[in-house]
Structure 1
């Protein structure tokens, strides 16, 4: 079965800035483990379309893992802003520095060696090992789960079905061209075996697909209904001095939005406290944002003429303040606050 899929991949492989295509691979060009690793970390819970520009900017600015390891934390976090899940950015730096410090700037070539690096879990280790080193590791993301569920008509709902789907995927992983095969299955799920309206008529695995034969392909994989997300409320304070400086604080390394700059808050995220200074606060509006596990409603309090010394955080001169460096929820807060300041 892998042969028919690889033949399809050789014709229809997606072109991506981090990928060595099948023709180049056949010509002997090897994927750069750094680029494979960086793309896989960026792609976690994020779309290919969203990642392309981030990947290009990162690799233009830090073309090797050694370059990234030497980068300032704040610069990397600023470039990451907008991709979300900021723990990934922190782990990105930890991993890069471990590769440089412990492995001479060379990524381990095996799944087991990769798993020993900070921030690399089973999926990412398997993806790097397969794609960069042609180890026959089993790579299973959401696309592969969907393909396996349909190919074998697995009706057990996710996430309970995960172990079975991984085992089925492992049984199909070939010893020949495992890196191309891993990318081929993911491409199949992303372009043909899509969540809605799968294009079974042009699928290279149409004939052996059990779900297609039973007419239930579009219904799989089944999923256990998710519980409704709770709503969390909080307050955030945005202070501006007469000279235009803006009050910011760096969030704790651990926890939500860890290590990122932001406006002082009241503890909606487990950090923070009361107002950061005794100002003339007024309500500017509400900022709404959805995280993985909850919806957030923030009351945005502003003081456009702050003069007291802050109890926490520090004022940043207006020319040095870049809203683009803020995480998404804080950019939403700034959009509301700056409207009351008369400039952005």
Structure 2
């Protein structure tokens, strides 16, 4: 066996270990979040838009109030914009709410009020980027689509000792490809949520909790002693202030 073949075999073992033990950990440690109590793609979509740039604890009461007021795609599509913005008040980034309502109208008019189970259709919704599309398709429909956000890139950077700048497009594409390879057959919904959960609760930005981490045994960054220096990320320009 060549050195390249040995390295490839080790890498494959690390991938299999990661997927297996991450899923086992998630089943016992996952948080009870309101959008996880359903496989309703509309609820999952709402939660993912709200969670952009907003903490989970902040989102929970907003999510509950929002779906109580707008329980279906049609109710959101037909609501006055001011009412939607009022329900959003306090979450900030009001363009998210406007895009969400615009997309709800698309779903009502083009797909009969049912969130589509189709990659191109979901990508075509206003305000839905690669991460949100992957989250909707994988979590709601169990489609083997990657859902790669900052939490996920941090986990993958550390576990596989990836030192490429995660702020750059080619790195994100490579991360999405890697994340897709890790999804066990038939487990896309749970696996992607597990990966997000690990980044949120254990593999945190400044002080990763390596000891209780279910995949620490094969974490390349931990073994190299550089887990706190990853991921590599250049600073983005601050967002412009947004008026309602």
TM-score range, shorter chain: 0.7 to 0.9
Asked if 1 retains the 8 angstrom alpha-carbon contact of 2:153 and 2:166, the reply is no
Normalised by the size of structure 2, how large is the TM-score? 0.87
Q: How does 1:190-229 map to 2 (within 5 A)?
A: 190-226=200-236
Q: Alignment partner of 2:36: what SS?
A: coil
Partner of 1:137: 145
Q: How does 1:267-282 map to 2 (within 5 A)?
A: none
Partner of 2:26: 9
Distance (Å, rounded) in 2 between the aligned partners of 1:62 and 1:155: 43
Q: Alignment partner of 2:161: what SS?
A: coil
Question: Are residue 99 (structure 1) and residue 116 (structure 2) matched?
Answer: no
Within the candidate set 75, 83, 105, 1:75 is matched to 83
Distance (Å, rounded) in 1 between the aligned partners of 2:166 and 2:187: 29
Normalised by the size of structure 1, how large is the TM-score? 0.62
Asked if 2 retains the 8 angstrom alpha-carbon contact of 1:133 and 1:179, the reply is yes
Partner of 2:12: none
Q: Which runs of 5+ in 1 are unaligned?
A: 21-29, 230-291, 297-325, 328-344
Q: How does 1:1-344 map to 2 (within 5 A)?
A: 1-20=18-37, 31-160=39-168, 161-226=171-236, 292-293=239-240, 327=244
Which stretch of structure 1 is more off in the superposition, 165-174 or 61-70?
Answer: 165-174
Q: Deviation of residue 72 (structure 1)?
A: 0.7
Q: Alignment partner of 1:105: what SS?
A: coil
User: Does 1 or 2 have the higher relative contact order (CA < 8 Å, sep 6+)?
Assistant: 2
Q: Deviation of residue 48 (structure 1)?
A: 0.9
Q: Deviation of residue 226 (structure 1)?
A: 4.7
Distance (Å, rounded) in 2 between the aligned partners of 1:142 and 1:226: 13
Partner of 1:246: none
Distance (Å, rounded) in 1 between the aligned partners of 2:196 and 2:28: 15
Asked if 2 retains the 8 angstrom alpha-carbon contact of 1:110 and 1:135, the reply is no
**Greater Rg over alpha carbons, structure:** 1
Distance (Å, rounded) in 1 between the aligned partners of 2:236 and 2:81: 35
Distance (Å, rounded) in 2 between the aligned partners of 1:93 and 1:223: 32
Distance (Å, rounded) in 2 between the aligned partners of 1:57 and 1:96: 17
Q: Alignment partner of 2:22: what SS?
A: helix
Runs of 4+ deviating beyond 6 Å: none
Distance (Å, rounded) in 2 between the aligned partners of 1:164 and 1:62: 37
| Post-superposition CA distance 1:24-65 (Å, at most 9, x none) | xxxxxx600010000011111111112111101101111111
Are the structure 2 counterparts of residues 116 and 5 from structure 1 closer, same or farther at C-alpha, using a change threshold of 3 Å? same
Q: Deviation of residue 70 (structure 1)?
A: 1.4
| Post-superposition CA distance 1:207-248 (Å, at most 9, x none) | 111001001111110222456x5xxxxxxxxxxxxxxxxxxx
Name the structure with the higher strand share: 1
Name the structure with the higher helix share: 2
Asked if 2 retains the 8 angstrom alpha-carbon contact of 1:206 and 1:212, the reply is yes
Q: Deviation of residue 71 (structure 1)?
A: 0.8
Q: Deviation of residue 91 (structure 1)?
A: 0.8
